[in-house]
Structure formats: C-alpha cells, structure tokens
Chains A and B, each alone.
Chain A
Amino acid sequence: TQLLEQSPQFLSIQEGENLTVYCNSSSVFSSLQWYRQEPGEGPVLLVTVVTGGEVKKLKRLTFQFGDARKDSSLHITAAQTGDTGLYLCAGGGQLTFGSGTQLTVLP
C-alpha cells in the first residue's frame, strides 16, 4: 500500500494570509489528486497532477507535483473564509488518501 503523509495536520490563519500544505510519500505515483471536503459531505476533486514538476493553478490555489512524482504541495494565496475545509491528497490505483489538513480561515 502506498502511504501519503500530509502536513500540517491543522492550520488556522487569518483571512488574507498565504499558506502551503504538503503531501509526501516514499512511493512514486503516476498521478496525485487534491480533494476538498466540507462537513457532512464527501470529498470533491480540486485538481489532478500527472507530470513530474507540473504546476497547476485554480484561481488562488496553486498545485505542484514534485519532480520525482513522490510529493505535492498546495499553496493558497490571500486565503478567504470560504477556503475553510479539509484538504486531502490522494493517489495510486487504489486511491489512497493522506491524513488531511484541516484548514480554518478566520475573518
């Protein structure tokens, strides 16, 4: 089983601040995905990264896939209260999920 570790586990910031969360593994992945989950709902896909070194942008969110395809990061610029949620990375044919980063953006 391919394991994914996320850090930090919890993050509380003020609106307008920038932040980065990380997803690391000792295994190589053909692709990594980032999901966001809100209370009472299932996770929803934000992005899929496939190529080593790839950078994808989704409005204020920037996703990067490591050159060796073992790690990924999610950077949020000028966080808003609506960004609050659980951010999960996932990968592999068996769709293993990391432990998640619970982000709280305070007004």
Chain B
Amino acid sequence: DAGVIQSPRHEVTEMGQEVTLRCKPISGHDYLFWYRQTMMRGLELLIYFNNNVPIDDSGMPEDRFSAKMPNASFSTLKIQPSEPRDSAVYFCATRRARDTEAFFGQGTRLTVV
C-alpha cells in the first residue's frame, strides 16, 4: 500500500477563494482524521470519520470549513471562503481500528494571501 495520500502538497490561494484538500486513506482503515497544525496551536483535530460517517466535527473552526467522505477511498476538506488565518499544514490520518496505529499523509501546506 502506498500509505495515506494527500493532495495537493502545497497550495497558495488568495483570500476569499475556495480551497479543497484531498485524502486517499489506506485500504481497510475504518477511521479517517483531519488535523490542522500550526506553531501556535499545535496539531488540532478538526473532524474524524468512522466507516465514512462523521463522528465528531467539534474541532471544525466555523461554517467555512466542511468535510466529506463519500466512500471508503476518498475524503475532502473544503474551506470556503478561505482567510489568511487558515494558513497551516493540514494532515489526513487513518487507522484500522480504535487504539491502533495511525498513519499520516505528508500533509498539505496551505498559504492564504
């Protein structure tokens, strides 16, 4: 397996634009997590899914953020409209079951100017 695949690796966009981040999980992993990492706030959980169903989205900052998992092979995190304070590295992670190892993608570095 190629591991968790995120795209794009880097994204630079203007304030007000829509941004879509993508994640392909490891096959057979039932849990998928989206995180945001900044120097100030560390690694923050935004939302996680179990068997494609959103379980906890309390970490999603505001209505501008939305996440979907239409099937077991794909998830998206969308920001609309984007703001400069959204600039961060966004990670997708998946794991087979609760309390097992989580595997992270290489992240998407988002810069909103």
Contact = CB atoms under 8 A, between A and B. Distances in A.
B30 to A, nearest CB: 12
A42 B42 contact: no
A33 B43 CA distance: 15
Interface residues of A, number: 23
Given A42-B104, A42-B105, A50-B99, A94 B48 contact: yes
A97 B45 CA distance: 8
Contacts of A44: 104
A94 B45 contact: yes
Given A43-B104, A50-B99, A94 B56 contact: yes
A27 to B, nearest CB: 15
Contacts of B35: 97
B58 interface: yes
A48 B102 CA distance: 11
Interface stretch (B11-19, B73-81, B90-98): B90-98
B110 to A, nearest CB: 15
Given A95-B95, A100-B43, A48 B105 contact: no
Give the size range of B's interface with the partner.
20 to 34
B45 A100 contact: no
Interface centre among B98, B99, B105 (most CB of A within 10 A): B99
Interface in B85-113: 91, 93, 95, 98-102, 104-107
Contacts of A43: 43, 102, 104
Given A42-B104, A95-B31, A100-B42, 14 more contacts: A1-B58, A40-B107, A41-B104, A42-B106, A43-B43, A43-B104, A45-B101, A48-B99, A48-B100, A95-B33, A95-B93, A95-B102, A96-B45, A100-B43
8 contacts: A1-B58, A30-B98, A41-B107, A94-B33, A95-B33, A95-B45, A95-B48, A97-B43
